[in-house]
Amino acid sequence: MTDGSASHAAPTVVVVGGGFSGLLTAIHLLDNDRQVIVRLLEKSETFGGGRAYGSANGQHLLNVRASNMSAFPDRPDHFLDWLQARDGTGDGFVRRGVYGEYLQALLRGALGEGGHPGRLLLERDEAVALDLNGTRPSVRLALGRSLTADAVVLATGLGLPAAAPGAACEGIGAPAYFADPWSLDPATAPAGDILLIGSGLTMVDVASQLDRPDRRFTVVSRHGLLPRSHGPAAVAPLPDGPLTTPRETLRSLRAHAAVVGWRSAVDSLRPLTPAIWRGWSLAERRRFLRHGRAWWDVHRHRMAPRIAERMQRLADEGRLSVLAARLESLEPAAEGLVARLRRRGLRSAETRTFAAAVNCTGLSADILGAPLLRDLAGQGRLRPDPLKLGIDVDDAFRVRDTDGAPVAGLYAVGPLVRGARWESVAVPDLRKQTAEIAATLLADLRAERQARRPVTPC
Ligand SMILES: Cc1cc2nc3c(=O)[nH]c(=O)nc-3n(C[C@H](O)[C@H](O)[C@H](O)COP(=O)(O)OP(=O)(O)OC[C@H]3O[C@@H](n4cnc5c(N)ncnc54)[C@H](O)[C@@H]3O)c2cc1C
């Protein structure tokens, strides 16, 4: 059954994914066009939460200060004002669930009388396929319906972490192996020695959540680097030096950090990061990912100070140790799992037994794991970006087909387009991106309508 209820006179956009990126793209579309109808599609129970902000766990704090978490690029105090009006909370690192409430409030505002009543339609279903062969794109849903539209935005986020490197199938299938780090129940998760694979903010989430005196954590990652803590950081100007290759950028950044402090130096690059990234050749970007990424990530994606204190306490109590090592194998044992770990620089591996292992390697960019993206790739309407960070898009977020040509009416936003922008994960970047993509999409729709308008003889 096709749902063609929306009149073709009013353009319709289907936004697939109701997390931050999908919701804000929808809001910008509605705010900037008085006619457009947006169908926001979400497969989970909650619109406006996504993986990041649906958390009800009080240990999960934002890793960005509230003063930098406004959803709107042109209203920097929007989130702070909302917090203040809610319960008088000021700037700081608030719970992620509170940010989820903020997004819910934005959603209610868009649906209500003061927003765009009747023009934002919420659909609880999963998009599983997209037909782009007809006059208008048609999105097929898991429950059997199809939605036709004038344009479709993919805002599906990234997938669950990829299988931990080195873990054998039997290890991955074992009950003591947790593939989804956000599904752990701290009350029922095993006690004892726990292996955390990956040392970024996902690991920090898991260690905070599972922290109990009867648990000890061994963290393993290639470089063994932990995210740094937030701290005072004055706004600094851009570095003076050249930024045209990763090596030069690192040199300029180091010199700048010596003057303004490393936090301010790293933050100073933020507004320019997409341009710097685009300015590097593919080989340079690849080099950065191989040699600079781990270093960049720990300085750029920082922990809230309270969380950093907790990690320090765990280390001081001897309950958290971090190894720069490779997981060579992970196999089920009588009780738990046996891991072979090879420390950086050593030839031989050590064998250790853990009560449980949690995959904290971060969200997966394997776009072919999701049915909708796999379907599009199978039709030749989408391809991974050359660095396999997500989907290949042009500078205006139009999805590229297997020949590299933009697909009419198909856009992607959010972490999916990291290959084009690099900084495409945190709210300060996504708020700009969602406004940008809405403006491009509306301009494309208007141009297309103009082109279709019959020419009247004078
Ligand atoms: C744990 C965590 C904590 C973070 N903390 C911060 C922070 O403190 N500050 C900050 O600035 N950034 C943070 N981020 C980063 C950032 O804000 C998120 O990555 C951002 O929420 C991405 O939003 P998104 O909508 O693109 O993707 P997601 O949040 O992943 O949302 C995608 C949505 O699409 C839905 N979906 C997927 N496929 C389909 C389909 N086929 N049909 C229908 N629905 C579908 C999913 O159910 C999901 O709700 C965090 C990220 C994570 C993962």
Query: pLDDT tens-digit profile of 364-389?
Result: 888 888 999 999 999 999 999 999 99
Distance (Å) from CA 97 to ligand 1 centroid? 13
Q: Is the pLDDT of residue 148 over 70?
A: yes
Q: Is the pLDDT of residue 8 over 60?
A: no
CB-CB contact of 436 with 417 (8 Å): no
Residue with the two structure tokens 């697939």: 16
* CATH annotation of 2-159+365-452: 3.50.50.60
How does strand 138-141 pair with strand 177-178? unpaired
- pLDDT of res. 151: 97
What token pair was written down for 172?
A: 């991955």
How does strand 146-148 pair with strand 2-3? parallel
Instruction: Spell out the residues 6+ positions from residue 73 whose beta carbon is closer than 8 angstroms to its own.
Output: 431, 432, 435
Q: Where are the domains of the chain?
A: 2-159+365-452, 169-227+303-359, 246-300
- pLDDT of res. 4: 44
Topology, domain 169-227+303-359: FAD/NAD(P)-binding domain (3.50.50)
User: Of how many residues is the chain composed?
Assistant: 458
Q: What gap in Å lies between CA 54 and CA 48, rounded to an integer?
A: 8
Query: pLDDT tens-digit profile of 216-248?
Result: 999 999 999 999 999 999 999 999 999 999 999
Residue minimizing CA distance to atom 37 of ligand 1? 156
For 47-53, what is the mean pLDDT? 86
Distance (Å) from CA 98 to ligand 1 centroid? 15
Three-state SS at 260: helix
Distance (Å) from CA 22 to ligand 1 centroid? 9
Distance (Å) from CA 156 to ligand 1 centroid? 8
Q: What global pTM score does this model have?
A: 0.94
Residue minimizing CA distance to atom 14 of ligand 1? 426
Three-state SS at 228: coil
